[in-house]
Amino acid sequence: MADALTPLLNLLELEQLEVNLYRGLGHGGETSRRIFGGQVVAQALAAAYRTVEARACHSLHSYFIRPGDPSMPVIYEVDQARDGASFTTRRVTAIQKGRQIFNLAASFHVPEASPTHQHAMPDVPAPEELTGREATRIRMAERVSADRRADFLRPSAIEVREIGDYDLLDPSPTSDVNALWFRLSRAVDAAPEMHQCLLTYASDMYLLGSALRPHGQSWLTGQVMTASLDHAIWFHGALDFNDWHLYAMDSPWSGGARGFSRGSIYARDGRLVASTAQEGLVRPVA
């Protein structure tokens, strides 16, 4: 299998153009049609990290404004909004063709000790008991239209093992509650902030699909237009994305051509390391 992780690592190695100004490659990610949303969020977080020292991101909130063009680079402009005693705030604007395509606000925090609690990790099958996404998609490939087959089969930097069966080509209405295991496709020796950026990239995978499941839809049916509108992440603790993490997701609401989804990401040892939330476009195709 081709190494898809090296191109992703290259995407996160931004070129500094000037103070607070960085350039990232546009091509790559999970699709060739437009820049994958998780890629832009991860690159923006990487740009913010270039201006922060000795503090870890604890939350980010972002909006997708225009589709990104994968044929050209993305410029990231960082606003060093505030450096406080405990918290640092950064705002990042992503630009293509002179227009904003995305913006992000992120907050960084010095390490502090305090009491802790969390919800328990769901009881699910271990990743070793499940089939990988690549094998599943190879079996389904002949049912995918020729114009989408290359993207459907393209190697991913993220290894995924889904829990439960949901036929993307012929889905039936089912529960919005779903889960999967995911990790990097191979281990990397990287700094903690890079593992946050890599998890950020992966967190945009599958989340919007939770809002489609109760309606028996998927991005492959051709009956609904989908796009991420915003994306938020809260980081709760240290993570090593070389190892398996459980992504437990649900969608408590959809309506008005929008769907709301949320996720909890657990390390394999049961620690809740991140939470996500996203609203996406789920517009029926006439």
For residue 162, the surrounding DSSP H or E stretch is: strand 158-163
CB 199 within 8 A of CB 244: no
Span 45-53, mean pLDDT? 98
Cβ atoms of 239 and 245 closer than 8 Å: yes
pTM score of the predicted model: 0.95
Kind and range of the H or E element at 87? strand 87-96
From CA 274, how far away is CA 184, in angstroms rounded? 16
Please name the residues in contact with 179: beta carbons below 8 A apart, sequence gap of 6 or more.
Answer: 122, 124, 163, 164, 246, 247, 248, 249
DSSP E strand stretches across 223-267:
224-235, 245-255, 258-267
The number of C-alpha atoms within 13 Å of 235 and in the hemisphere containing its C-beta is: 25
- Percent helix, percent strand, percent coil in the chain, to nearest 5: 20, 35, 40
Query: Do residues 169 and 144 touch, judged by C-beta distance below 8 A?
Result: yes
Query: If you average pLDDT over every residue of the chain, what do you get?
Result: 94
Distance in angstroms (rounded) separating the CA atoms of residues 46 and 110? 18
For residue 19, CA distances in Å to 25, 100, 193 come to 19, 19, 20
Quote the distance between the C-alpha of residue 206 and its chain's center: 8
Tokens 């990232």 belong to 24
Q: Is 172:164 a contact under the CB 8 Å cutoff? A: no
Two tokens at 92? 């990042």
State yes or no: pLDDT of 22 exceeds 60: yes
Average pLDDT over residues 9-35: 91
Angle at 228 between CA 122 and CA 18, to 5 degrees: 110
- The string of pLDDT tens digits covering residues 64-108 is 999 999 999 999 999 999 999 999 999 999 999 999 999 999 999
Partners of 179 in the β-ladder: 163, 248
Rounded to 5 degrees, what angle do the CA atoms 57, 62, 64 make? 145
| Amino acid 174: pLDDT | 97
Could you give the CA distance from residue 228 to residue 259 in angstroms, rounded to a whole number?
Answer: 10
User: How confident is residue 1, by pLDDT bands cut at 50, 70 and 90?
Assistant: very low
Question: Would you call 7 helix, strand, or coil by DSSP?
Answer: helix
For the chain, what is the largest distance between any 2 Cα atoms, rounded to a whole number of angstroms? 57
**Domains of the chain, start order:** 5-110+130-284 (2.40.160.210)
pLDDT, tens only, 109-123: 999 999 999 999 999
pLDDT, tens only, 159-196 = 999 999 888 889 999 999 999 999 999 999 999 999 99
pLDDT band of 222, cuts 50, 70, 90: confident
What positions carry a catalytic annotation?
A: 204, 228, 278
Distance between CA atoms of 99 and 276, rounded to whole angstroms? 27
Dist. CA 154–CA 182, nearest whole Å: 17
Cα distance between residue 230 and residue 62, in whole Å: 5
Name the 3-class secondary structure at 69: coil
CA-CA distance, 51 to 90, in Å (whole number)?
8
